[in-house]
Chain A
């Protein structure tokens, strides 16, 4: 193993008991393969470590562990799309339900001490200046990292307040604004300047891009996807402009206007068309605005829509209905007032990316549903024409960037939804951080940080077998009358200390690596006999992958071929039974976590 830093254990500790850093690809590969939650997180959040810190009641430290990867834990702990939970080993077949990783993130943010001290390592000033256009999640994450790296950062934001979609696209009942303000403040307080109400472009009162290019060493575009996608209709509705029709709203505009302070109203029967978080948010807002019937119409089925089951359940509790297998083809109107929607019935087609399904319209199956308001929330697009600088675009109209995060124009970088199209907040945060690192490398002429694995010996199992049988703890929610009385009342109330502790215990702590020292093993099979799963195997070899990481285990049942008894960390649920049963203490445990060090 490539030991690249002196051991940090107590003086006199035996070499095998020392903590060390490794850049060996087998170690990096092991973490990526065996800690599925962290691998699934676009920001690479070190989930097992922050959950372990919650068990230890070190909420502040847990918050800091989160911030190392994701600078907005209090926000993501409420509204994250949770790609980590769908990969959680506890949710694999036969293991039960995934750990409530997102709810525990919120626990770290909400339960840290009031006087919690944020700890961050700062680089000395570089004298370089970076302009960031857009104070949404990608822009804020990039600004935070660039300021830590010693650059002077100025954010230009079109709206009156920072936050982008977090502030203008997500309703307050999901994300309270005091939480948003605190998290943004924590992210941007290291000297980042924010100029709100500052629009970039060539029009009157706008700041031209050329000026930014002249005054700054690099410019990062992180303006997100702020234009609602139009609803494709058929026949005489194909080319008709919908915005002027009374009762027609675009979901994104509906939410943005509401959060700018415009008073919004809806009819008695509201139809929301779309299947994402924006559609669900619009439906729940409509219910709070007094609509008597709110229905979300989706093209496929509930199973395949990219929102969490909890959000669907809460929407249904608030009276929202979901109807599947339908695509709108026409609207019906009397004069200039909407009266309903004509749909076509769909059947399910093949698979699309991200576990979604195609919808195939069935010819001749049109039907009509009356409604007073339609809210169209089928997606969002980027807007590029404001720039006045010609940038190369991809086939979807998103700006094209190279591996270094730079656009076709030297010195102009782009990040977040502005590059990737409409995605999730955690994807925007993750991408913002990646591009910040690349901007730093470009400005400084070299990479200043690199990824390694910190390997820490662990004296004994950190879990008990009984923890595997704890059911997932459910999020307490506000009573229905309180939600509807005050439309901004936060629905999810957060896990209390007891619930948080129980939930945290469920985490398998997949970053613990159990290994058998073959030289000391006496092949007694005691570990195999106590293993609750098929996690300890007799092998005659192990494949090595291209990157040097260990691959498939080559199992055997013939004793004369057994080369080793091997713990299959993919199957292992870190219960510690084998460690306790081993009569010769040949099983070791080490904690492996990805971290960054200076190059």
Chain B
């Protein structure tokens, strides 16, 4: 891959919406630079928001790719797939991969996103659940749900509720075990909640308030001949379904940044220009907490449009810009004139 002598090496960790957009912008603004994406995924960039399509029968991975492989070659963006970052040394500007390889960088953009959060009290049931965060997980879950099968959804964040729309549309049965993370990342008041739950029910989602049932006591494999999963509540009621899918929001993937010299609370703490506390390291997307002058706190900004805009902004600031973050989308959840829930986080097409 030809690059000009003394050209800078920009490394992006993560090949999601944010990382891919950043790589595009970096290439556009610095044609001679070397741009490398490190990703855990075995697939090139695909849009996570498209994953519900697997329940409509779309299972070929090629259908999900945002760009063909030639795109990266043409744009001289090196994508290193199946690469797990073990650590980052900020002052030395070095990334260590799990297999001990060291990669030097001039600038680093961390866009590693978030993984599905599972509340600690349910952690022991993890092997019995089917997450929906990657193409592989989506296909696995879809293959386990028969025609008109029953999906038990725990939590019910907006990613899950988006899937629920597809499931209802494809004549599956959906039971939502609702709790504190329902409608995440929207912050829903106690007054708004009953109306929103009623709207979900109107959409065809069966809703059980976890708190009313005393919380989940256990999740088990169903007996032979019965549904594959059984969820038992503390009040003695139980649910039977084909899969149990957790949707409790996202937890930033920052473990590999511990000890890197960057400040971390839940996510990487960045200033409005998306710079971390370590020179040359930026963060964008679901992994970063941005200082909001207006709200006087560090906060996450979610949604496809926000995440893409963050990738773009970070790349512009890496290449000489100094612009502050401005949210790219509305965050308000509301009920439309048709009585259905409308979320800006579902507007990604």
Q: Do A and B come from one complex?
A: yes
- Which of B96, B265, B266 lies at the interface centre, i.e. has the most chain A CB atoms within 10 A of its CB? B265
Q: Answer yes or no: A558 CB below 8 A from chain B CBs.
A: no
CA A362 – CA B264 in complex, angstroms? 17
Report the minimum CB–CB distance from B159 to chain A (whole Å).
Answer: 22
CA A527 – CA B265 in complex, angstroms? 45
Report the minimum CB–CB distance from B96 to chain A (whole Å).
Answer: 8
Q: Answer yes or no: A316 CB below 8 A from chain B CBs.
A: yes
Contact of A362 among B100, B263, B296 (CB under 8 A): B296
Report the minimum CB–CB distance from B255 to chain A (whole Å).
Answer: 10
Contact of A325 among B121, B123, B258, B265 (CB under 8 A): B265
Report the minimum CB–CB distance from B320 to chain A (whole Å).
Answer: 26
- B: contact size bracket: 20 to 34
B264 touches A94 (CB 8 A): no
CA A268 – CA B217 in complex, angstroms? 22
B120 touches A316 (CB 8 A): yes
Q: Answer yes or no: A13 CB below 8 A from chain B CBs.
A: no
A365 touches B296 (CB 8 A): yes
Interface residues of B (CB under 8 A from A): 86-87, 96, 100, 119-121, 123, 217, 234, 258, 263-266, 269, 277, 291, 296-298
B269 touches A347 (CB 8 A): yes
CA A302 – CA B264 in complex, angstroms? 9
A319 touches B121 (CB 8 A): yes
Among all A-B residue pairs, the 8 with the closest Cβ atoms: A365-B296, A316-B120, A317-B120, A301-B265, A348-B263, A317-B121, A324-B265, A345-B297
Q: Answer yes or no: A385 CB below 8 A from chain B CBs.
A: no
B298 touches A317 (CB 8 A): no
A480 touches B296 (CB 8 A): no
Contact of A318 among B121, B217, B265, B296 (CB under 8 A): B121
- Residue ID in chain A nearest B100 by CB atoms: A94
B123 touches A348 (CB 8 A): no
Chain A residues within 8 Å of B296, by CB: 345, 362, 364-365, 367
Report the minimum CB–CB distance from B127 to chain A (whole Å).
Answer: 14
Chain B residues within 8 Å of A402, by CB: none
Interface residues of A (CB under 8 A from B): 93-94, 301-303, 313, 316-319, 324-325, 345, 347-348, 362, 364-365, 367, 480-481
14 A-B pairs in the complex with CB atoms less than 8 angstroms apart = A93-B86, A94-B86, A316-B121, A317-B121, A345-B298, A347-B263, A347-B291, A348-B265, A348-B269, A348-B277, A362-B296, A367-B296, A367-B297, A481-B234
Chain A residues within 8 Å of B291, by CB: 347
Other than the given A301-B264, A301-B266, A347-B291, 4 more pairs (CB < 8 A) read A301-B263, A303-B264, A345-B296, A367-B296
Chain A residues within 8 Å of B263, by CB: 301, 347-348
Chain A residues within 8 Å of B96, by CB: 93
A325 touches B87 (CB 8 A): no
Interface of B is mostly: mixed
Chain A residues within 8 Å of B123, by CB: 313, 317
CA A162 – CA B119 in complex, angstroms? 39
Contact of B121 among A93, A348, A480 (CB under 8 A): A480
CA A93 – CA B255 in complex, angstroms? 13
Report the minimum CB–CB distance from B139 to chain A (whole Å).
Answer: 28
B297 touches A365 (CB 8 A): yes
Report the minimum CB–CB distance from A507 to chain B (whole Å).
Answer: 23
Chain B residues within 8 Å of A301, by CB: 263-266
- Residue ID in chain B nearest A313 by CB atoms: B120
Report the minimum CB–CB distance from B128 to chain A (whole Å).
Answer: 16
Report the minimum CB–CB distance from A531 to chain B (whole Å).
Answer: 14
CA A317 – CA B122 in complex, angstroms? 8
- Residue ID in chain A nearest B211 by CB atoms: A292
Chain B residues within 8 Å of A313, by CB: 120, 123
Chain B residues within 8 Å of A324, by CB: 265-266
Chain A residues within 8 Å of B87, by CB: 93
Chain A residues within 8 Å of B298, by CB: 325, 345, 347
Chain A residues within 8 Å of B217, by CB: 481
CA A316 – CA B118 in complex, angstroms? 11
Report the minimum CB–CB distance from A329 to chain B (whole Å).
Answer: 13
Report the minimum CB–CB distance from B77 to chain A (whole Å).
Answer: 29
CA A318 – CA B263 in complex, angstroms? 28
A303 touches B258 (CB 8 A): yes
CA A364 – CA B120 in complex, angstroms? 34
CA A313 – CA B118 in complex, angstroms? 12
Chain B residues within 8 Å of A480, by CB: 121
Report the minimum CB–CB distance from A516 to chain B (whole Å).
Answer: 25
CA A365 – CA B293 in complex, angstroms? 9
Chain A residues within 8 Å of B258, by CB: 303
